[in-house]
Amino acid sequence: MEKITKEELIEFEKEISELFLDKKIHVPVHLSGNNEDQLIEIFEDINEKDWVLSTHRNHYHVLLKGMPKEEFKELILSGESMHIYSEKYRILTSAIVGGILPIAVGMALAIKKKRQRRKVWVFIGDMAKETGMFHECHKYAARHELPIKFIIEDNGYSTDTPTQEVWGYQHTKSNIIRYEYERKFPHVGIGAWVSF
């Protein structure tokens, strides 16, 4: 993969910002910033054969995965800022909050079944981390020991509202009651248990 520096990442986002303000980009763009060091460190462990799945805020991920800046800029100028797919660079992104998670888990399951030596790295924001989709996918991947890493990029905001306010953490008291019991009926219907 082509190595890219922190300064190059910052300069790329500055250029995209200017193109947007000059009305050369006609679709929404989601810029990154202040997370260059963390991402560069994470991408040290990601190799060319690994897949990277990401969100609408994907510019740094795409560049760090190896797509040349000019090639990526052309995609953005053509309206493809949030939905990127490249088999060559092994990157897939989606603007649907949490929507990339089950795809990532499915890819990791396929990799495991094919006994391939690669991983899936899936990047999500702190809002997506709070969804049921994340918890289902994370638990499934852990239980099946899938070759996947979940990276939560926590900027403290769900869109423009602090994530803690969106999810009500500071106001939450325990609202869970749990009890255990031995079930009487099967999962569906009124069938009977059969012993072998």
Whether pLDDT at 196 is above 80: no
CATH number at residue 41: 3.40.50.970
How high is the pLDDT of residue 104? Answer: 97
Q: What percent of the chain clears pLDDT 90, i.e. is strictly above it?
A: 66
Which of 24-28, 65-69, 167-171 is predicted with the least confidence, judged by mean pLDDT?
167-171
Residue 90 lies in a domain: yes
Residue 182 lies in a domain: no
Looking at per-residue confidence, does 81 or 189 come out higher?
Answer: 81
Residue 110 lies in a domain: yes
How high is the pLDDT of residue 188? Answer: 56
Question: Whole-prediction pTM value?
Answer: 0.85
How high is the pLDDT of residue 155? Answer: 85
Residue 75 lies in a domain: yes
How high is the pLDDT of residue 141? Answer: 96
**Over the chain, what is the mean pLDDT?**
88
How high is the pLDDT of residue 140? Answer: 97
Residue 114 lies in a domain: yes
The domain in which residue 13 lies consists of 6-165
> What's the number of domains the chain is made of?
1
Whether pLDDT at 176 is above 80: no
How high is the pLDDT of residue 154? Answer: 87
Residue 117 lies in a domain: yes
Mean pLDDT value of segment 29-50: 94
Residue 34 lies in a domain: yes
Mean pLDDT value of segment 94-114: 96
Whether pLDDT at 170 is above 60: no
Please state the three-class secondary structure of the chain as a single string: CCCCCHHHHHHHHHHHHHHHHCCCCCCCCCCCCCCHHHHHHHHCCCCCCCEEEECCCCHHHHHHCCCCHHHHHHHHHCCCCCCCEECCCCEEECCCCCCHHHHHHHHHHHHHHCCCCCCEEEEEEHHHHCCHHHHHHHHHHHHCCCCEEEEEECCCEECCEEHHHHHCHHHCCCCCCCCCCCCCCCCCCCCCCCCC
Q: How confident is the model at residue 127 (pLDDT cuts 50, 70, 90)?
A: confident
Residue 103 lies in a domain: yes
How high is the pLDDT of residue 174? Answer: 58
> Which pLDDT tens digit goes with each residue over 131-161?
899 999 999 999 999 999 999 998 888 777 7
